[in-house]
Structure 1
Amino acid sequence: MSIETSGDAAEETNTVDERARELGEAIRNLPEFERFQEAQEAVEQSEEAQEKIDEFEQVRQEFMLARQTGQASQEDLQHLQETQQELHDIPVMEEYLDAQNRLDVKLEQVNDTLSEVIGLDFADEASGCCND
Structure 2
Amino acid sequence: MSIETDTADVTDDSVESLASALGEAITDLPEYEAYQDAKADVEADEQAQERIEEFEQIREEYMVARQTNQADQDDLRTLKKAQRELHELPVMEDYLQAQSDLELRLQELNEIISEPLTVDFGEKAGGCCQE
| Aligned residue number for residue 50 of structure 1 | 49
Q: State the percentage of identical aligned residues.
A: 46
| Aligned residue number for residue 121 of structure 1 | 120
Report the residue type matching 1:122 in the other structure.
Answer: F
Alpha-carbon displacement from aligned partner over 1:89-122 (angstroms, at most 9, x marks no partner): 0111100000000000000001111110223200
| Aligned residue number for residue 127 of structure 2 | 130
Structure having the higher helix fraction is 1
- Could you list the runs of 5+ residues in structure 1 that have no partner in the other structure? 1-7
SS in 2 for 1:29: coil
| Aligned residue number for residue 3 of structure 1 | none
With the length of structure 2 as denominator, give the TM-score of the two structures.
Answer: 0.87
With the length of structure 1 as denominator, give the TM-score of the two structures.
Answer: 0.87
Larger Rg: 1
- Could you list the runs of 5+ residues in structure 2 that have no partner in the other structure? 1-7
Distance in 2 separating the partners of 1:87 and 1:129: 36
Please report how far the alpha carbon of residue 128 of structure 1 lies from its aligned counterpart in structure 2 after TM superposition: 4.7
Distance in 2 separating the partners of 1:130 and 1:107: 25
Report the residue type matching 2:24 in the other structure.
Answer: E
| Aligned residue number for residue 37 of structure 1 | 36
Distance in 2 separating the partners of 1:104 and 1:69: 35
1:13 matches 2:12: yes
Runs (4+) off by over 2 Å:
127-132
